[in-house]
Structure 1
């Protein structure tokens, strides 16, 4: 038998779900998604009238201090293991593919100077950049083509991708570590990769004269 009872006064058949229910919806989508999702993705999945931005903000606050957190990755959102618990997920494996020194330097320049052209990368490195190096970073989806520069020839630029940010647990490129953090992590001995220079956080004059990495 169909229910023809009237809708209670003050309520509507078209009212959006309560915010608590919207939080549950956002939580379910983030948990099940293989890749970070945008606000537009959430809005398209949720019922009409929902406010995914507010639901995200509330959900993010609820997960503060938990083992899993709601994090922003560029313009997208995802659920990730808390950064201080990352060691629990580590597993010793044989690394079958390793970035070359040229690729590391090129990636550092793009990350710290984006958007940057190939000519600018070569100027900073002081040597030419092989097509294979750029292709490798593109294949790994750590960099992508950016907008063309408004200069003669309209050269293409390169920028880092959300996949790069997600891999390194960064919300945006502004969260890239400075020299002190790189040294503390054991990634530098004396001097940062080309392109990290000039950011205003050099703490001694010897940095520009010291060696990059030990081969």
Structure 2
């Protein structure tokens, strides 16, 4: 059997044409959602390929297109052109349930503002978790008020304009009174005014504990 010629052996290690290398990178980027580095491309592509050079040509070819090849950190990825991003947006209304602890805390702040954390805990009868306050702050329904001129100068909480706008209130004085709350069935089997049930911290983490009561603070 005749031996392979040197030309044939050399052809086995010859890199594909640059246009073909571009196609390879294009295929990998299209199929990969996460950015991929040149090192990873080198490991995937045939011996002798130059992913760096091929990437330069590929990025130029995609300039001005609806999809572009962009650099993300040490890697590259296909992404929608920035000026066309609005086509991918879809506005949705996210319904977020408040826990019983969050509803009670929000109600206390709304009716007793400015009020400190200690005062909230005294009215509720249980401690207020940081997560509850953080959730209300994230919703921008409460904010920090002035510090009280008492020992330790504790910070107070008050409701925000966002809270009033969300519930169609001109100011906090427009909040429903006890008579309205009772007529709406929101104070049935509730403790006397000025107190809150001692539910324990398990209610802080129970988003389903609001059923039948969340009407007070939901559209």
Q: What TM-score, normalized by structure 2, do the two folds share? A: 0.45
- Give 1 or 2 for the bigger CA radius of gyration: 2
* Greater relative contact order (CA < 8 Å, ≥ 6 in sequence): 2
More helix by share: 2
